[in-house]
Chain A
Amino acid sequence: MKRPRIGVFKFTSCDGCQLTILNMEEEFLELIDIIDISYFKEAIDRPLRGIFDISIVEGSITTNRQKEEIADIRERSRSLITIGACATSGGLQALRNWASLTSYKEYIYPAPDLVDALSTSTPVSDHIHVDYELWGCPVNREALSETIKSFLMGKKPTLPRYSLCMECKRKGIPCLLVSSSDPCLGPITKAGCGAICMIFGRACYGCFGPKDDANIESLMRWFKDLGFTQRDCIQLLDKMNSYAYRKVRLEQGH
């Protein structure tokens, strides 16, 4: 049987999610026996060629060149999966969406005109059809493995879409929001990280993005009752998944 061709692509990002593929270690060594990683710039010296059975995309779309590239990759791909907060929700760099690009460029570059950058950082799904989105900043290694294997078997992965609170409760961690009045994004955030912050007594800061039907406004009211200002509340949402949280909020009419 012909081994399925896999491509790994990078847009605007930190490389952490594609590194997670290499971090699968022994499992990765097993995978390369049954798949053909045909394109993966960070790991293989090979040009871009042909059609891919599965394309794995990291990073957000932030330049004109990338808009064309992502369309080309879609045309070459039977299935396309995005991995990480940048590819699924624009990433931290989407904070520019709520600011002036010119001032951002001028703050960093002496000759800002030389820099090609769109005024927005957007998720891949704003540009092309995406078959599956894997959330997280970075993505979880086990979830990534489950996702790749599911696609190889021709099925959709079964990853949780409920809130982080479920994961936290199951681990028996006392609720930080209730017990220490910490502004925890757990109630509106997808499970998947393993509640690693709460284990350390730290409030969730939203690496995995909004869960299905997140009631953001209700949580914001709670934060305000705890003494946080409107600006504080927005800043709590405006992190790696700022674009996704804001979108849900707008859709709910706030």
Chain B
Amino acid sequence: MNRVIKIDYLSRIEGESGVYIEIKDDSINVEMRVFEAPRFFESFLKGRPFQDAIDFTARICGICPVAYQMSSVHAIERIFGIQVDKPIRDLRRLMYCAEWISSHSLNVYMLHGPDFYGLESAWAGKEYLPILKKGLSFKRLGDEILTIIGGRAIHPVHIKVGGFFRAIDLNHLKGLIPSLQRAYEDSLKEIKWVSTLRFQRGYNEKVYVSLRHDEYPMNYGSVISNKGLNVSMEGFLGMIEERQMVYSTALHSKIKKDGDLQPYLLGPLARLNNNYMCLPDEIRDVIAASGINIPISGMDKGIIARVIEIAYALYESIKLIKGLDDINVLSKEVQLCSGSATWITEAPRGMLIHHYELDDTGKILNCRIIPPTSQNLAAMEMDIRHLVELNKNLDKTRLKGLISSLIRSFDPCISCSVHLLN
């Protein structure tokens, strides 16, 4: 007998989407129905000056604007042949750390965390309030770093091609070190906490894709996978195929392999599994002491990787801020030229691909933006199918609860996903 499970509007995730599942005798059909209205960013960027790519694409997502600014600024700097100096590099990495802290805390403590306590929201139960407060304290630090460097946490105003608009207040940043230190110590305890949560059984073998670099990857690196992939950023763009689904305003992407199309997973789980060796010993020790095995396997364990990355981002922020000395010149001269380039950075939710083509006056001729969530949709559908298969005898309400929780474990960013080009 056919059974239909339908969630019209998923709560506690960013953006507007639902899920439609049809359970038949011999198969399970899963559709992530993204109904977020499209905004056509790539279309209105055509003909605009290159700085607009940085300011405009940030507006694709209020949760990860820095990611958009980073992918676009690096792509455009590549066209102009600009390589920024260490202070600019470090400040940009610091902004990324801050965004990971803020964005991950939002998912872990406000959106997904309540699932493990059977709550409708992060403030629905007294026992959860201390956990929420902890999360907010991390989030505030991430927001504060962004406010000092970028003027505000959402849609910072300070990044430009070649560097930054003006040197920032170092004393202000250095003043954050004691709070960051305390938060870092707290975050290590959170790794223990997250390891005690109850997860779903079952596991789907997956292709984990992330950047790899000589440090834990954010702004630089080549694209690798746990299945032996190792290509340049452009190389990766050539390997994926995007398809439009009738039920979604987000396109789905898959890796082309031997005439086949393969789903793949981006984000904290993939990043951590692929780059565990880049973490400092003190964090690796806590991970081991908490009984977490790397690679982390399991469908809904993104939250573990997110908590570990919060700890790492705090650790790295302290290191970066301590290393910053008096900075005077914070921008490189820009020499306009025509050309095109691809750049990928590690957004909180995984690799965010930007590609731009500029004319010789610096105007955008074409652009292509492939956000992580749309790349993850195929893998998400695969895992939902697996979860339903394992639990198809459960009643509707419980099954819906499990499905919603699994979807939140991917931390999808639906507003992002609706801006693609084929």
Q: B-contacting residues of A (Cβ < 8 Å)?
A: 10-20, 22-23, 25-26, 29, 32, 37, 40-46, 62-63, 66, 91-93, 95-96, 99, 103-105, 107-111, 114-117, 121, 137-138, 193-194, 196-197, 199-202, 205, 207, 235, 239-240
State how many angstroms separate the Cβ of A121 from the closest Cβ of chain B: 8
Contacts of A32 in B (CB 8 A): 123
Q: Is there an interface contact between B14 and A22, defined as CB atoms closer than 8 Å?
A: no
- For the complex of A and B, 6 pairs with smallest distance between CB atoms: A16-B62, A196-B151, A95-B44, A104-B43, A44-B121, A93-B39
Q: Is there an interface contact between B143 and A115, defined as CB atoms closer than 8 Å?
A: no
CA–CA, A109 and B374, complex, Å = 14
Q: In the complex, which residue of chain B has the Cβ closest to the Cβ of A242?
A: B44
Give a binary string over B403-421; 1 marks a CB under 8 Å from any A CB, 0 the rest. Answer: 0100000000001000111
Q: In the complex, which residue of chain A has the Cβ closest to the Cβ of B122?
A: A43
Q: Is there an interface contact between B12 and A202, defined as CB atoms closer than 8 Å?
A: no
A–B complex contacts, Cβ < 8 Å, 13 sampled: A15-B15, A15-B61, A19-B154, A40-B121, A41-B9, A91-B59, A93-B39, A104-B40, A108-B420, A110-B244, A196-B151, A197-B157, A207-B155
Instruction: Please classify the interface of chain B as helix (H, G, I), strand (E, B), loop, or mixed, using the class held by over half of its residues.
Output: loop
Q: Return the contact of B56 from the options A13, A46, A92, A197 (Cβ within 8 A).
A: A92
Contacts of B48 in A (CB 8 A): 235
Q: A-contacting residues of B (Cβ < 8 Å)?
A: 9, 11-16, 36-44, 46, 48-49, 52, 55-56, 59-63, 65, 106, 110-111, 120-124, 129, 132-133, 136, 139-140, 143, 151-155, 157-158, 160, 164-166, 244, 246, 249, 251, 404, 415, 419-422
Contacts of B106 in A (CB 8 A): 19, 22
CA–CA, A250 and B305, complex, Å = 53
Q: Which of B37, B42, B132 has the most CB of A within 10 A?
A: B37
Q: Is there an interface contact between B63 and A108, defined as CB atoms closer than 8 Å?
A: no
Q: Return the contact of B12 from the options A26, A29, A42, A114 (Cβ within 8 A).
A: A42
Q: Is there an interface contact between A14 and B61, defined as CB atoms closer than 8 Å?
A: yes
Given that A14-B415, A26-B136, A92-B44 are known contacts, is A46 also in contact with B151, CB under 8 Å in the complex? no
Contacts of B43 in A (CB 8 A): 96, 99, 103-104, 107-108
Contacts of A13 in B (CB 8 A): 62, 415
Contacts of A43 in B (CB 8 A): 11-12, 110-111, 121-122
Q: Is there an interface contact between B422 and A109, defined as CB atoms closer than 8 Å?
A: yes
Q: Which of B60, B140, B157, B422 has the most CB of A within 10 A?
A: B157
Q: In the complex, which residue of chain A has the Cβ closest to the Cβ of B248?
A: A114
Q: Is there an interface contact between B120 and A63, defined as CB atoms closer than 8 Å?
A: no
Given that A95-B44, A109-B244 are known contacts, is A23 also in contact with B152, CB under 8 Å in the complex? no
State how many angstroms separate the Cβ of A102 from the closest Cβ of chain B: 11
CA–CA, A25 and B123, complex, Å = 12
Given that A14-B62, A44-B120 are known contacts, is A200 also in contact with B166, CB under 8 Å in the complex? yes
Contacts of B136 in A (CB 8 A): 25-26, 29
Inter-chain pairs besides A10-B15, A14-B65, A43-B12, 4 sampled, C-beta below 8 Å? A16-B154, A25-B140, A107-B43, A107-B46
Q: Is there an interface contact between B12 and A92, defined as CB atoms closer than 8 Å?
A: no
Q: In the complex, which residue of chain B has the Cβ closest to the Cβ of A96?
A: B40
State how many angstroms separate the Cβ of A68 from the closest Cβ of chain B: 13
CA–CA, A23 and B135, complex, Å = 11
Contacts of B143 in A (CB 8 A): 23
CA–CA, A117 and B39, complex, Å = 9
Q: Is there an interface contact between A104 and B63, defined as CB atoms closer than 8 Å?
A: no
Contacts of A194 in B (CB 8 A): 151
Q: Return the contact of B246 from the options A114, A196, A197, A201 (Cβ within 8 A).
A: A114
State how many angstroms separate the Cβ of B307 from the closest Cβ of chain A: 19
Q: Is there an interface contact between A111 and B244, defined as CB atoms closer than 8 Å?
A: yes
Q: In the complex, which residue of chain B has the Cβ closest to the Cβ of A107?
A: B43
Q: Is there an interface contact between A201 and B166, defined as CB atoms closer than 8 Å?
A: yes
CA–CA, A218 and B36, complex, Å = 39
State how many angstroms separate the Cβ of B420 from the closest Cβ of chain A: 6
CA–CA, A10 and B12, complex, Å = 13
Q: Is there an interface contact between A202 and B165, defined as CB atoms closer than 8 Å?
A: yes
State how many angstroms separate the Cβ of B113 from the closest Cβ of chain A: 12
CA–CA, A26 and B308, complex, Å = 24
CA–CA, A193 and B411, complex, Å = 30
Q: Is there an interface contact between A201 and B63, defined as CB atoms closer than 8 Å?
A: no
CA–CA, A13 and B154, complex, Å = 13
Q: Is there an interface contact between B38 and A117, defined as CB atoms closer than 8 Å?
A: yes
State how many angstroms separate the Cβ of A37 from the closest Cβ of chain B: 8
Q: Is there an interface contact between B153 and A23, defined as CB atoms closer than 8 Å?
A: yes
Contacts of B44 in A (CB 8 A): 92-93, 95-96, 99, 104
Q: Is there an interface contact between B49 and A45, defined as CB atoms closer than 8 Å?
A: no
Q: In the complex, which residue of chain A has the Cβ closest to the Cβ of B419?
A: A108
Given that A107-B43, A109-B422, A115-B249 are known contacts, is A15 also in contact with B404, CB under 8 Å in the complex? no
Q: Return the contact of B62 from the options A121, A138, A207, A239 (Cβ within 8 A).
A: A138
State how many angstroms separate the Cβ of B204 from the closest Cβ of chain A: 25
Q: Is there an interface contact between B123 and A105, defined as CB atoms closer than 8 Å?
A: no
Q: In the complex, which residue of chain B has the Cβ closest to the Cβ of A235?
A: B48
Q: Is there an interface contact between B155 and A137, defined as CB atoms closer than 8 Å?
A: yes
Contacts of A108 in B (CB 8 A): 38, 40, 42-43, 419-422
Contacts of B422 in A (CB 8 A): 108-110
Q: Is there an interface contact between A19 and B63, defined as CB atoms closer than 8 Å?
A: yes
Given that A99-B44, A196-B157, A199-B151 are known contacts, is A15 also in contact with B14, CB under 8 Å in the complex? yes
CA–CA, A41 and B408, complex, Å = 13
Contacts of B49 in A (CB 8 A): 235
Q: Is there an interface contact between A239 and B55, defined as CB atoms closer than 8 Å?
A: yes
Q: Is there an interface contact between B37 and A66, defined as CB atoms closer than 8 Å?
A: yes
Q: Is there an interface contact between B59 and A92, defined as CB atoms closer than 8 Å?
A: yes
State how many angstroms separate the Cβ of B358 from the closest Cβ of chain A: 15
Q: Return the contact of B158 from the options A103, A200, A239 (Cβ within 8 A).
A: A200
Q: Return the contact of A44 from the options B12, B15, B42, B52 (Cβ within 8 A).
A: B12
